[in-house]
Amino acid sequence: MDFYGHQDSARKRTGWLVVLYGLAVVGIALALYIVVRMVFGGSEAGEPVPDFWQPELFFGVTVGVVAVVLAGSLFKTAQLSGGGPAVARSLGGRPVLPNTTDPDERRLLNVVEEMALAAGVSVPQVYMLDAEDGINAFAAGFSTRDAIIGVTRGCVRQLTRDELQGVIAHEFSHIVNGDMRLNIRLIGVLFGILMITVIGQIIFRTTQFSGGGGRSRDNKRGGNPLPLLGLAMIIIGYIGVFFANLIKSAVSRQREFLADASAVQYTRNPSGIAGALKRIGGFAAGAKVRNAHASEASHLFFGDAIGSSLMSLFATHPPLKERIRRLDPASNPQIAAWAASAPSAGAAPAAVSGFAAGRSAGAGTVDLAAAQSLLATVPKALREAARDPVAARTLIYALLRAARSDVRARQDQAMLSLDPQAESRLAALAAATVSLPAALRLPLAELAIPTLKILPRADYQVFRRVMQIMTEADDQIDLFEYALQHLIVRHVEPAFGKVSAAPIRYRTVDQVLPACRTVMTALAAWGTESREAAAAAFEEGMRTLEGQSPAYDAARTSLGDVDLALNTLSEASPQVKKKVIEACTRCVLADGQTAPNEADLLRAIADAMDVPMPPVAAG
C-alpha cells in the first residue's frame, strides 16, 4: 500500500469534509432564518409588511449557528483531547495490562506487538470493552503517539488467532494511513451540529408553559413564539445531523474497503479477515456495540456497531457480503496475488535477514513473518520484563548502562538512589541485555512503551529523571541513547497530558532543505569511518532532494541541531516526508552497509516524522 498516497488522500478527504459540513451549517442557518422570519416577522396592524429577505438578520442567524456548532465541536474535541485513550474510555474500555495472565488478552497483546513491529510503528495501548459481546474492534488517536486499539470481549472470545490477526491488521491500516485523526474530528463536528437540537430542546422545555415574553404575529393575544422556535430548532438540528451522518457514512464505507485490502496485504492471509467477517454474519450479537456513545463513534469500528437503517443510508460500513466477496481470491485477482506472495514457514529466517539488512522497506510495507521471527529471537525473560511496570523501567536502565566501569558505577548510584525498586531486577536484566544483538535493542525498548504509559505520574517523572542522568553520565550522548530517549518520550509523554496532531506548514522540499542538510550531515558523519565516505553518503542523499548536492560540511552536527531539524520535518506534508525518507535511506546505503548508529538514527528520524518504518539493523 502507498502510505504517503493514503496520507495525502486522508488530508484531502478532511478538506472535502470541511466544505461539505460548511455547506450543511449554511443550510441549517438558512432554514433557521426562515423560521425566525416566520415566527417573528409579522407586523402590527396598519404597519407595512417588511421584506422577507433581511441580510443583516441572516448574517446574525448564521453567526449564531456557526458559534453554536463551533462551540459544541470544540467542547467535544476538548473532551477527547486525551486522544485514543479518551475515546476508548468513553466507549467503556479499560486498559489491558501488559502483564495480563488472561489467555485471551495475552493472545491479543501478542498479535498487537507482532503487527506493530511489522508495520514499523510504536506498540499501541490495548483497551478491552468487557461489556460488549459483539465481535468488533477500533483504532483511535490523533497520531501513532497516542494511538490505541480497542477490542470487544466478544472479539477475543469468538475469533481464532488468524481471524483476530486479520481484524488487528485492519485497525493498523487505519493507524498507518492517517484515518484516526479524521475520525476524532468527525465526532466533534457531529456533536457541534447536534447542539442546535440541544439548544432547541432547552428553549422548548423552558418556554412552552410561559406566557408573553416575545413578539408574535398576534401581539394582542399575547402568544409566546419561543416554544415554536425551540421546536423548529429541534427539527432543523436533527435534519442537520441526518445529512452530517450521510456524509460520514459515505466517507467511512470507502475507507473500510481500503482497510480490508490493507489487512490482506499485511497478513498475506485473506481467509483471516474474511473468516472474522463471516463469524460476525453468523453470530447472534453480530458486531453490535451497546454503549451509549457507539452511535457517534460508529465510523471507528471494524464492523457495523449500530446496525444499518433507512436502506443503509446511515451504514458506516459496506454490507458484510460485499466485504467478504472482495476478499475472496476467486473474485479479486489482487487479493489472490497478495495471498500467493505469503512467505512460507521455512522462509522466516530469510525474512529476518531482510529486516536486519538495513534496507528498510517503503513506508507502509509490512512483513509479518519477519516480525514474528524477530520477536521470537528476543529472550523470554526480556519480553516478560517489558510487560512489568517495575521491570520495564529497569530494562530501559539496563539498555542504557555504559561499558566503562567508572561511568556505569555513577549510573547505578544515581539510579538506585532515585528508583530503589530497580535494584532487585538490575543484575539479571543487565546480564541479559549485554549480549543482546543491536537489531533487538530498539524493538525491545518499544515493547516496553505500553507498560511505561500506565506508570503513575510520579513514577514516570522519576523514570525520566533517571534516564536523563544515565545518558549524560559520560558527558556525551550516543545515537542509541538519543534514539531510545526520543522514542520513549515521544510515545509515552502523551499518556500524561493532552495531545494534538502536528500541523502541516511545509509543502515543498525547498522549504525544509536546511533541516534536511542537518539530518543528512548527521547520518553521514555518524555512519562512516572517513571524511571521504561521509561526503559521498551526504552527496548521495542530498542529490535525491536537490538534483545536485551542496558541499559536505565536515563540522559534526550536534544532536540538538538534529532535534530542531526533526521538529521542522515533522510539520512537512506526506509527499515531502516521502522524499526526505528516500534521501535518508540513500544516504545510509551509500556505502552498501548500515552501521548500528545509522540504523538507530534512521529509526528516530522516521518516527519523528510519524512515518512507519520496520526495525533496521546493522549489516
Task: Give residue 267's identity as a one-letter amino acid code.
Answer: T
- Residue 411 has a pLDDT of 93
pLDDT less than 50: residues of the chain: 1, 3, 45-46, 212-221, 310-311, 342-362, 364
Residue position matching grid coordinates 453554536 = 68
Q: Which of 171, 446, 539, 598 is catalytic?
A: 171
pLDDT, one tens digit per residue, over 239-257 is 888 887 777 777 788 788 8
Q: Is 171 a catalytic residue?
A: yes
**Which residues are bridge partners to 137 per DSSP?**
151
CB 515 within 8 A of CB 150: no
> What is the model's pTM?
0.82
Rounded to whole angstroms, the Cα distance separating 536 from 549 reads: 10
- Residue 345 has a pLDDT of 36
Rounded to whole angstroms, the Cα distance separating 506 from 179 reads: 21
Q: Domain boundaries in the chain?
A: 3-39+53-84+182-249, 350-375+501-619, 380-496
Cell of 514: 536546511
* Buried b or exposed e, range 359-382, using 16+ CB within 10 angstroms: ebbbbbbbbbbbbbbbbeebeeeb
Query: According to DSSP H, which parts of 2-123 are helical?
Result: 3-40, 55-79, 84-90, 103-119
CB 286 within 8 A of CB 280: yes
